[in-house]
């Protein structure tokens, strides 16, 4: 019961933060709303029993990545976003689109909830570092290793596109 109440509270905060992120016109306000989203997501992970993921979420996303975001916004001295004709068209088309999509998915989840099985946590160490490490370095070893190529490409892309043209 407490779990459900907490889930609803943090879920609502998360969605409100995400909507606020979109509505804010100054990038720094959007970045700070993103902190709210990340932190409430971390709490939802915690409610689901994934302690390790929750901690990582706070350290990496709400911590490191957000600091980077804020630094970049400050350094670039980014101004307020402008409303153009294009963005107005996007708003007119986008908002109903999002509502339709959200309604469809919501309806599907509500009607299809009978088909969703319940998950029983088999091992006592579920969500702990040990269990995650076993998944990461055994079953998901290949995806884990191949991610290094992905990160390498991302770094290379930043270097290539950011380099000053000689």
Sites of contact with other proteins (CB under 8 A): 104-105, 108-109, 111-112, 115-117, 119, 138-143, 146-147, 149-150, 152-154, 156-157, 159-161, 163, 165-166
Q: What share of the chain is helix, strand, coil (3-state, %, to 5)?
A: 80, 0, 20
Burial class (CB in 10 A: 0-12, 13-18, 19+), 101: exposed
| In the complex, minimum distance from the CB of residue 108 to other proteins, in angstroms, rounded to a whole number | 5
| In the complex, minimum distance from the CB of residue 86 to other proteins, in angstroms, rounded to a whole number | 13
CB nearer to other proteins: give 4 or 118.
118
| In the complex, minimum distance from the CB of residue 164 to other proteins, in angstroms, rounded to a whole number | 10
Burial class (CB in 10 A: 0-12, 13-18, 19+), 116: exposed
| In the complex, minimum distance from the CB of residue 158 to other proteins, in angstroms, rounded to a whole number | 9
Classified as helix, coil or strand, 1 is coil
Two tokens, residue 111? 């009607």
CB nearer to other proteins: give 5 or 110.
110
CB nearer to other proteins: give 5 or 164.
164
CB nearer to other proteins: give 12 or 154.
154
Two tokens, residue 156? 């290379």
Contact status, residue 126 vs residue 53, Cβ threshold 8 Å: no
Tell me which DSSP letter residue 128 carries: S
| In the complex, minimum distance from the CB of residue 104 to other proteins, in angstroms, rounded to a whole number | 8
């Amino acid at each position: 019961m407490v779990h459900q109440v907490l889930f609803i509270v943090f879920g609502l905060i998360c969605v409100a933060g995400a909507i606020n992120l979109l509505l804010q016109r100054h990038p720094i306000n959007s970045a700070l709303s993103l902190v709210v989203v990340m932190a409430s997501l971390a709490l939802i992970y915690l409610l689901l029993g994934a302690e390790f993921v929750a901690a990582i979420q706070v350290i990496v996303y709400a911590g490191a990545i957000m600091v980077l975001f804020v630094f970049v916004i400050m350094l670039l001295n980014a101004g307020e976003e402008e409303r153009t004709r294009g963005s107005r068209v996007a708003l007119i088309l986008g908002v109903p689109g999002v509502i339709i999509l959200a309604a469809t998915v919501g309806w599907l989840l509500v009607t299809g909830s009978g088909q969703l099985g319940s998950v029983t946590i088999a091992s006592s160490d579920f969500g702990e570092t040990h269990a995650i490490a076993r998944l990461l370095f055994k079953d998901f070893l290949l995806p884990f290793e191949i991610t290094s190529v992905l990160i390498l490409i991302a770094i290379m892309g930043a270097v290539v596109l950011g380099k000053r043209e000689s």
